[in-house]
Structure formats: C-alpha cells, structure tokens
C-alpha cells in the first residue's frame, strides 16, 4: 500500500481567519477592528495589517493599505499581480482604488459595509468598465464573525460612552 501525501491548499476561510486575527489586534489598539492579509498564489502571506488610523494619525492607514504596503515592500514591487487580499470589511473607495492600482488578482471580504462599501454595497468601483484594471471580488467569506467583531466593538464603545 502506498501512503498518500496529502497537500492542502489553504482556503478563503483560512485566510479570512488570519484577517480576523488582525481585526482583533486593531481592537486591542483601540482602532475599529478591521484586519487584512495579502497572500500569493502559493498561499504564502506576504503582508498583514490592521486599522491604524488613530495611532498613526493617518487617514490612509486602513487595514488594507497597511497590508498592501507590507506586501509591496516584501516583494519590492508596487504591482501585485496574481495576489489576493483578504479583508474583514468590504473595502471603501480609497482601498479598492489602491487594490486596483496594485493590480491584485482577487479581493475577498467578509462583512458588507452598507455605509461606505465600494464593492457593491454603496458603490461598485470595480465594475466600472472604464477602468484599465479589474479584479475579482468575492464577498461574504466568514461574514458573520467578521460582522460580529465590529458589532461587539461598537456596542462596547457605546456602553463606555453611556457610563461617562
């Protein structure tokens, strides 16, 4: 009998769970809990990030941008073809714009954002035919836990404000 060697390719769910770990890190920093990871086609994590807008005093320090910067630095290239970005919350206009400029192959998000989502909830930037690059967008991966971390965070924040 020949032993089979099982090789498993990590799934979208696995990488979204890594993004959720980044979201929890953002929460510990006092930031809105959004996390992101950037992964190559072989499943190697090239960059990770969480929201840092408050602690960095930087309106562009969304989780996606932090993760894209780390991946680009790792690869020493601002273009990231063949790469997938996983993020716990539907990207905003700024973030999907950066992803399109980076030439990402895929964007995978967890929870939809009915207020600023730019991948179909409020706008669908990637669907604009006039753009010179398009990326595949998949939403709803681990949507419930991704949404839960945000709901818990804001519930806790409201309770603290009520106590004051």
For residue 131, which phi and psi values (nearest 5 degrees)? -70, 145
Catalytic-residue membership of 90:
no
Check: CB of residue 88 under 8 Å from CB of residue 117. Answer: no
pLDDT of residue 140: 96
The radius of gyration of the chain's CA atoms, rounded to the nearest angstrom, is 17
Catalytic pick among 4, 64, 144, 161: 64
The neighbour count for residue 39, using CB atoms within 10 Å, is: 25
Collect the ranges in the chain with pLDDT lower than 50: 1-8
Alpha-carbon span 137 to 119, nearest angstrom:
7
Q: Give the number of residues written for the chain.
A: 164
Alpha-carbon span 158 to 95, nearest angstrom:
27
Check: CB of residue 63 under 8 Å from CB of residue 51. Answer: yes
| Per-residue pLDDT reduced to its tens digit, 57-68 | 999 999 999 999
pLDDT of residue 163: 73
Alpha-carbon span 139 to 79, nearest angstrom:
23
Check: CB of residue 17 under 8 Å from CB of residue 69. Answer: no
């Amino acid at each position: 009998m020949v032993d089979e060697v099982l090789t498993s390719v990590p799934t979208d769910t696995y990488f979204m769970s890594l993004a959720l770990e980044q979201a929890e890190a953002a929460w510990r920093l006092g930031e809105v809990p959004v996390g992101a990871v950037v992964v190559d086609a072989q499943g190697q994590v090239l960059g990770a990030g969480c929201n840092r807008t408050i602690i960095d005093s930087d309106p562009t320090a969304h989780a996606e941008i932090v993760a894209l910067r780390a991946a680009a630095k790792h690869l020493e290239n601002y273009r990231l073809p063949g790469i997938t970005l996983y993020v716990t919350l539907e990207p905003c206009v700024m973030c999907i714009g950066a992803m399109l400029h980076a030439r990402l192959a895929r964007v995978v998000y967890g929870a939809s954002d009915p207020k600023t989502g730019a991948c179909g909830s409020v706008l669908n930037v990637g669907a604009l035919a006039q753009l010179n690059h398009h990326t595949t967008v998949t939403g709803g991966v681990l949507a419930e836990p991704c949404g839960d971390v945000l709901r818990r965070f804001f519930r806790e924040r409201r309770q603290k404000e009520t106590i004051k």
